[in-house]
């Protein structure tokens, strides 16, 4: 049950990124690719520093999960890049809805094949309920539901790549947690992602992509929050949740509440109006989390 709660904390923190970024005054700093690089770099730095300061156990070079770390970094970069491409090609609404829901289903399928047993019925119901809630609540997060573009073959490819990448990232994180302390998993994973995103920026924009005017004091505070808390803290909670959860599918399902959190924050902080379907979507996501807690509690009782 603690695993689901930790992933919910991660989803809540991720849900604050959009609202926090909307207060940025410099459009150059608020650029999605630059923001992705800054957030992962800041988050990685703080988490790795924390791991060193706390003297967390570290495996030797022959036992270090380099392969899983490489998979985490590449998958994280592919997810970021394809997410931005999806916004341009098929619209924000469709991209977010697919990339929030599809990885959960993909991980559930992978988990089923690996463990050779069907997922808990309550977990599958929770995924279906939350997916319905995502589709209802998504427009509230400052997104025009009519702004979605036409989905062509390239758009489908981008959405598929982003969804598969996040599912792979989650499975790599769970695999790494067996050898590394969660601080190390999240920290080194974000560092690998930052390096991969930096490589993409260098290829796409050259050295000019890394030259930015000094941000204002307000923008620095927002960057610090987004990088350290909403990225570093969120990934730490996410990794801890996946490690403690009964399965990767159960843990990842809890991330489906993120659009609902973003919707409520947009209404409370930015003054956006929630429609009845959007309120219904948020309630469905809340109901899904309750179902996940019930599934975890039942599993714990079965072990006793």
Mean of pLDDT values over 172-185: 85
In the chain, what percentage of residues exceed pLDDT 90?
12
Letter string b/e over residues 139-167, b meaning 16 or more CB atoms within 10 A of that residue's CB: bbbebeeeebbebeeebeebbebbbbbbb
Q: How do residues 225-251 score in pLDDT, each as one tens digit?
A: 988 998 899 989 988 888 776 666 666
Highest mean pLDDT, choosing among 34-38, 123-127, 154-158, 166-170: 166-170
Distance CA 20, CA 30 (A): 10
Q: Are 229 and 109 in contact (CB under 8 A)?
A: no
| Res 301: pLDDT | 65
Mean pLDDT score across all residues of the chain:
78
Q: How do residues 70-90 score in pLDDT, each as one tens digit?
A: 999 999 888 878 876 776 677
More confident residue, 254 or 8: 8
More confident residue, 150 or 133: 133
Residue 140 pLDDT > 70, yes or no?
no
Q: At what angle do helices 153-176 and 66-89 cross, to 10 degrees?
A: 150
What global pTM score does this model have? Answer: 0.77
Q: Where are the domains of the chain?
A: 2-303
Residues written for the chain: 304
Q: Are 95 and 86 in contact (CB under 8 A)?
A: yes
Contacts of 274 (CB under 8 A, 6+ apart): 140, 263, 264, 267, 282
């Amino acid at each position: 049950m603690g695993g689901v709660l930790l992933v919910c904390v991660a989803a809540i923190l991720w849900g604050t990124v959009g609202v926090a970024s909307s207060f940025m005054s410099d459009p150059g700093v608020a650029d999605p690719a630059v923001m992705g690089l800054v957030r992962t770099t800041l988050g990685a730095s703080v988490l790795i520093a924390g791991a060193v300061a706390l003297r967390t156990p570290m495996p030797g070079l022959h036992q270090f999960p380099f392969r899983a770390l490489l998979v985490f970094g590449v998958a994280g970069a592919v997810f970021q890049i394809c997410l931005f491409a999806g916004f341009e090609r098929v619209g924000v609404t469709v991209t977010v809805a697919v990339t929030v829901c599809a990885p959960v289903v993909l991980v559930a399928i992978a988990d089923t094949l690996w463990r050779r047993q069907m997922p808990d019925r309550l977990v599958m119901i929770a995924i279906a309920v939350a997916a319905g809630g995502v589709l209802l609540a998504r427009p509230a997060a400052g997104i025009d539901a009519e702004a979605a573009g036409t989905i062509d073959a390239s758009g489908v490819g981008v959405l598929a790549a982003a969804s598969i990448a996040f599912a792979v990232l989650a499975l790599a994180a769970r695999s790494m947690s067996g050898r590394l302390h969660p601080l190390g998993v999240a920290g080194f994973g974000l560092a690998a992602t930052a390096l991969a995103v930096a490589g993409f920026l260098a290829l796409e924009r050259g050295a000019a992509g890394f030259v930015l005017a000094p941000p204002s004091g307000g923008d620095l505070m927002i960057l610090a929050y987004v990088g350290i808390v909403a990225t570093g803290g969120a990934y730490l909670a996410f990794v801890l949740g996946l490690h403690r959860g009964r399965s990767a599918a159960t843990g990842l399902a809890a991330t489906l509440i993120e659009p609902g959190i973003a919707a409520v924050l947009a209404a409370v902080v930015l003054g956006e109006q929630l429609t009845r379907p959007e309120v219904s979507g948020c309630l469905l996501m809340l109901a899904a989390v309750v179902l996940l807690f019930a599934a975890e509690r039942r599993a714990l009782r079965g072990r006793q």
